[in-house]
Structure 1
C-alpha cells in the first residue's frame, strides 16, 4: 500500500494526515501554537514554530501507523493564505512573518489603489482589490517602515511555502497563494509585471509558481533524516487553505458551492471560465484544478456571531452542556427551531467585526432589527442563525452574477454539525445542502488529494474528488419555508444601506 501526507499550516495549529490510495484517512495529528500580537491589530508568527509542529505531527502519524518511509509516495501542503514570510539570500527568515489577519497595512492598500487609478483598475491587473489581509500591503509596509529588512529580502513566500522550503530546499508557491498576494495576474496565470513595476517592488523577490498538484521539489536528505521519511519523496504545489478545502469538499465543479461556517464564513465556487470580479467584493483566485479558478466571498463573523451569542446570552446553555455532556451550540439550535421561520419578524446582521463581503466596510455594525415584546431569547438565537446564512446568501448571489447558477451547497465547519441548522441553510438558500466524507478535516484532506494526484494515485483533481468524496447527508429545502425566507431576505438586504450612515457616526465616537 502507498500513502500520501497532507499538511495544513493553520493560523493556530498544524494538522497532518495520512491518506491511502483509497482516500481513507489512516492517521492524523495536530499540534497547536500561538501567534504574536506586538501591537493592537498586528499579528505575527515565527515560522520556526510551523516547522517544529510539522516535524512533531509527521512523527506522530508515522508512529501511529508504522508506515515505512518508502511507502509515503508524496506530500501535499496547505496553509493560511496571504501571510508574508521574507527570506534572505541564505534562506533565513529576516523578520517574523506578518500574518493574514494583521491589520496594519490599510494605508498601503489605499496607496495601491491610488497609484493604479482606483479599485476597478486594480481589478484589471489582478482580478481583485487590495484588502488589508493580502500580501501586497505587507510587502509595501516592510519597504516603507523597515527599509533595511526590505533590502535584505531575496525571496518571499507564504506560510505553507516556507514548509516546502524546509522540506525540499526549493522556493516556490502555488497558483492559489500567488493569487492571494494581489500581485498575480489571475486571468493569465502569471505575476503582473506591469503592477510590480508600477509599485516599484523588486521583481527578483518573487518566487516561482507551480500548479497545485504539480511536483515542486523533493525531500532533501536532511529533511528526510529529521522526519523519518525517504529522501527524494516528491512534494506537490499544494494550495492555500480555502482552495485546499474546496478540493477537500469536492467543490471543484461549477454549480457546487462550498460553505464553511467557522469563525468567518466562506462561500466558494469553481469557475471553468474567467469572469470579472463584481466590484471587487469577492476574491477571485486560481484554484486547485489546473486551468480553472475559484471565486469566493468571506463574511468576517459567521460562526463568530454564534460564538458571541453563546458567550453573551447562552450562559444557561453552557451550564447545561457541562452537566449533560451536550454541546451549548447544539442546545441553542434546538431552542431556536422552536421559533417560526423568520424569527417573528426579528432580523440580525452579523457585522460585529465589520464586514468584507458583500460590503467591504470596517465600520459596519451588527444589528438586531424589529425587536418587539413578543421576542424571547429563542427568537434572538434564531435571528442570529438566519442572519449568518443571509450574509452567506449575499456572497452566493454575487457569485451567481458570473453566470454560474447554484445547484448544491457542500457545508463544513460548525454549520455542518446540527441537521436542524442545515435545514435553515437549505431553506434560506433554496438548494440542497449536503455534507461529505472528510469535510471536517480542513485543508489537510485537500492537500492530500493534491499529493495523490501528483503521485499518480488519481488522474486528475476532479477524478479524485468524484471518486473519494461520498455524500453523508442531504437536506432539501422546504418550499413553504423558502418562499417565506425570500420575503424576509428582501427586507434583510435593506438593513445595511439604511444603517450605513448611523454606523459611520457610531464608529467616529
Structure 2
C-alpha cells in the first residue's frame, strides 16, 4: 500500500493528512497557531520555530499512523503566501517571515517601484499591479530598512519553498508562488522577469522554477531525523495554500471558481487565456502552463469574530439565531467590511469599516446579518471582474465559514451563483497529497479526488432587493473615502 503525506501551513493552523492513492484519508493532525503583529501594518511568523517545528511535529505524528506494511511514497507541503523568508547558507531565517497582503509595511516601496518601472508596464509584464500582496516591494523594504539582514541573506523563499529546502536542500520556487512575487516574474511567459528581478534581488540568486507537483528532491538524513519521514522520500514542490485547496476540490478547468470562506475571503478562478486587470491578481496556475485569476479581501470571518467580541461575547450559535430572525437586507443596514483596510478590488490599506443606515430599531442580529451581506457584496464585486476574463461556469465553496448558513446563503443570493460544497473539507493538505501522488507518478495527472456533497442555490425572491442594495453599497466606499482616510490618520493601526 502506497501512502502520501500532505501538510499545509495556514494562517491559523498547520494541518497534515495521510492519504492513499484512491484519496481515502487514513489520518489527520492539526496544530493551532497565530501570527505575530509586532507593529501596526506588520504581520510575521517565525519560519523556523513555528512552520518548520510544526511540520516536524505533524510529520512525526502522522508517521505513527502509517498502516502496517504501507510505504510513504511522497510528500508535499503548502503554506500561506506569498511570503518572504530570507535565509543564510545554513537555511537559518535572518528575520521573521513577512506575510502576504495583510502585511502592509511596504507602501512606500510600492510607490517607488511603481514609479521606477511604470504602472502600465508592470501590469503588462507581471499581470498584476503592485500591492501589499506582492513580494517584490517586501524585498525592497528589507533592503532599505534592514540592510544588514539583506546583505547577509543568501537565499529568499516563500513558506512552502522554505520547507522544501529544509526537507531536500533544494533551492526552488513553484511557478504559482513566483507569479505572486511581483514584479519579479513574467506571468505571460512563465519565467523570471530578469531585469527587474535582478534589480530588486541584487546579490540574491533566483530560485529554480518548478511546477507545484514536480518532485524537487528527496528527504535528507538530517530532515528525516527531524520529521520521522524516511530518508529518500520524494518531495513535491507544493504551492500557496489557497491554490492547493482549489486543486483539492477540482477547480482545474477554465471557468472553475473557488470561494474560500475564512478569516479573509480568497477567490481563485482558472482562465483559458492570459488576462490582466488592475483590480485582480493574474497568476500562473497549479498545473503546468495554466493561468488563474485571484482576489482576496482583508477581513471576512475575522469581522464576525470581532463583532462577536464587541457585542457582548455571545456564542456563535446565539448570534446566528438572532441574525436568522432578521430579514434579508437587514432592514436597510449596510456594512463596508474594511476594518483592516481592503485588498481586492480597492487595494486601500487606509480603508475602514462603515455602517450605514443604523437606527434605534437595529440590534445585534441586524449588525451580524449586515456584516455577512457586506462581505457578500464584496464577493459579487470581485466575481463581476472575474467574468470579464472568463464567465464563471462552476463555483466550489470551501472553508470554515461554511458552518454559517446565513453567510453561505447570502453569497448565493447576492451573487446569483449556485455553490457546490465538497464532501472532503480537509483543505489544502488534501490537495498537497494529490500533488505528491501526481508528481511521483502514482496516479495520472488528471486524477481528481473531489466529490460534491451538496449545493447552495440562490433564492431568487431576494434578487431584486439585493440588486438595489448592492448599487447603494457600491457607492459607499467612494462617497466616504476622503473622510475615512482622514480618520485613519488618527489611529495607530
Question: What TM bracket, shorter-length normalisation?
Answer: over 0.9
Q: Determine the structure 2 residue equivalent to 1:324.
A: none
- From 410, 418, 431, the equivalent of 1:446 is 431
Aligned residue number for residue 142 of structure 2: 142
Q: In 2, are the aligned partners of 1:347 and 1:383 still within 8 Å (CA)?
A: yes
Q: Matches of 2:92 and 2:488 in 1, distance apart?
A: 42
Q: CA deviation at 1:377?
A: 2.8
**1:49-68 CA distances to partner (integer Å, 9 max, x unpaired)?**
22221111111112133455
- Answer whether contact 1:196 1:203 (CA < 8 A) is retained: no
Check conservation: 2:17, 2:25, Cα contact below 8 A.
yes
Number of equivalences: 487
Aligned to 2:52: 51
- Structure 1 contact 239–288 (Cα < 8 Å) conserved: yes
Q: Which residue of 1 aligns with 2:281?
A: 283
> Does the 8 Å CA contact 1:334/1:420 hold for their aligned counterparts?
no
Q: Do 1:153 and 1:205's aligned partners in 2 also have CA atoms closer than 8 Å?
A: no
Report the structure, 1 or 2, having the larger helix content: 1
Per-residue displacement from partner, 1:228-263 (whole Å, max 9, x unpaired)? Answer: 333222111211111111112222222232111211
Q: Are positions 1:272 and 2:269 aligned together?
A: no
Q: Does 1:405 align with 2:391?
A: yes
Deviation at 1:417, TM superposition (A): 1.5
Q: Does the alignment pair 1:430 with 2:431?
A: no
Q: What is the DSSP-based 3-state SS (H/G/I as helix, E as strand, rest coil) of the residue aligned with 1:212? A: coil
- Asked if residue 230 in structure 1 is aligned to residue 215 in structure 2, the reply is no
- Structure 2, unmatched stretches of 5+, are none
Contact (CA 8 Å) 2:140, 2:200: kept in 1 or not? no
Match of 2:115 in 1: 114
Q: CA, structure 1 residues 31+337, in 2 after alignment: closer, same or farther (shift >3 Å)?
A: closer
Matched, 1:61 2:62: yes
- Residue 38 of structure 1 and its aligned partner are, at CA, apart by 4.3
Deviations 1:354-407 (A, max 9, x none): 1111111122221121223443332222211111111111111111111x1123
Post-superposition CA distance 1:419-462 (Å, at most 9, x none): 343222211111211210223x23211111111111223322xx
- Do the aligned partners of residues 168 and 458 (structure 1) sit closer, same or farther apart at CA in structure 2, a change above 3 Å counting? same
Instruction: Tell me which moved more, 352-361 or 362-371.
Output: 362-371
Matches of 2:17 and 2:304, distance apart in 1: 29
Q: Does 1:474 align with 2:475?
A: no
- Residue 14 of structure 2 corresponds to 14
Cα-to-partner distance string for 1:202-227 (whole Å, 9 max, x where unaligned):
26521111011111111223323443
| Alpha-carbon distance between aligned partners in 1 of 2:486 and 2:368, rounded to the nearest angstrom | 28
The correspondence of residues 338-377 of structure 1 with structure 2, limited to 5 A, is 338-377=325-364
> Under a length normalisation based on structure 1, what TM-score does the superposition of the two structures give?
0.90
Partner secondary structure for residue 28 of structure 1? strand
- Give CA-to-partner distance per residue, 1:23-42, whole Å, 9 cap, x none: 12211112344544444433
Assess if the C-alpha contact under 8 Å between 1:266 and 1:392 holds in 2: no
Shift of 1:115: 0.5
Check if 1:456 corresponds to 2:441. Answer: yes
CA distance in 1, matches of 2:436, 2:207: 21
Task: Tell me: CA distance 1:88–1:473, structure 2 relative to 1, closer, same or farther (3 Å).
Answer: same
**Match of 1:325?**
none
Q: Distance in 1 between matches of 2:384 and 2:76?
A: 32
CA contact (8 A) 2:48 2:92 kept: no
In the other structure, the counterpart of 1:190 is: 191
Partner Cα separation in structure 1 for residue 457 and residue 135 of structure 2 = 40
Mark the CA change 1:371 to 1:91 in structure 2 (over 3 Å): closer, same or farther.
closer
Q: Is 1:333–1:421's contact at 8 Å kept on the other side of the alignment?
A: no
For residue 85 of structure 1, report the CA deviation from its aligned partner: 1.6
Distance in structure 1 (CA, Å) of the matches to 2:112 and 2:212 = 32
What's the counterpart of residue 474 of structure 2?
Answer: 493
Alpha-carbon distance in 2 for matches of 1:314, 1:177: 41
Query: 1:83 corresponds to which residue?
Result: 83
Compute the RMSD of aligned alpha carbons.
2.0
The unaligned stretches of length 5 or more in structure 1 are 319-327
| Alpha-carbon spacing, 1:66–1:350, altered in 2? closer, same or farther (3 Å) | same
Q: Displacement of 1:95 after TM fit?
A: 3.2
Change (3 A) 1:35 1:427: closer
Is the CA contact 1:314–1:332 (under 8 Å) kept in the aligned structure 2?
Answer: no
Matches of 2:108 and 2:155 in 1, distance apart? Answer: 24
Give SS of 2:435's match.
Answer: helix
- Are 2:489 and 1:504 equivalent residues in the alignment? no
Question: Are the aligned partners of 1:219 and 1:232 in contact in 2 as well (CA < 8 Å)?
Answer: yes
